[in-house]
Amino acid sequence: MSDYSKILVAVDLSEDSAEVSHKAHSIAAVNNAELHLIHVIEPLSFAYGGDIPMDFSGIQDEIHQQASQQLSSFGHVNNIPIERQHIVLGRPEVEIHSKAEEIAADLIVVGSHGRYGLALLMGSTANGVLHGASCDVLAVRVGS
């Protein structure tokens, strides 16, 4: 295994995030590496399409506020300082790659649900992260 100095842990703040974080902590301990957390909020316009004539800004602000609180709590429990907790708005795979490059991460750790069939063909965040990363990616199987 390579020596890692900065590890970016992508979390969705579900129950599975603890398992992903645990794996990242194990690798960080062996390598004396710095851990960063990232949570990406997808804009509601991505989820519901741009054709719906609705203003989602209030709902989007509420989602951001709740996610910020959850990430802060998760970071505290996992001993990751606030300055290494990142919450961003956008497409998860794009934002995870961007943050990894910004902080010079040499490993990205992300959860994977091990999808198959139609779900695999439609893609997943873990698959998107794996295929565009400029560093190593560890996909931790969760929820099985």
Encode pLDDT of 25-57 as tens digits. Answer: 999 999 999 999 999 998 876 555 555 566 667
- Please tell me the predicted confidence (pLDDT) of residue 44: 76
User: What are 121-142's pLDDT values in tens digits?
Assistant: 435 788 888 888 999 999 898 8
- Rounded average pLDDT over 101-111: 96
Quick one: what percent of the chain has pLDDT higher than 90?
Answer: 62
What pTM was computed for the model? 0.85
Taking the chain, what is the end-to-end CA distance rounded to the nearest angstrom?
A: 25
Confidence class of residue 114 from pLDDT cuts 50, 70 and 90? low
Domains belonging to the chain, first-starting first, are: 6-141 (3.40.50.620)
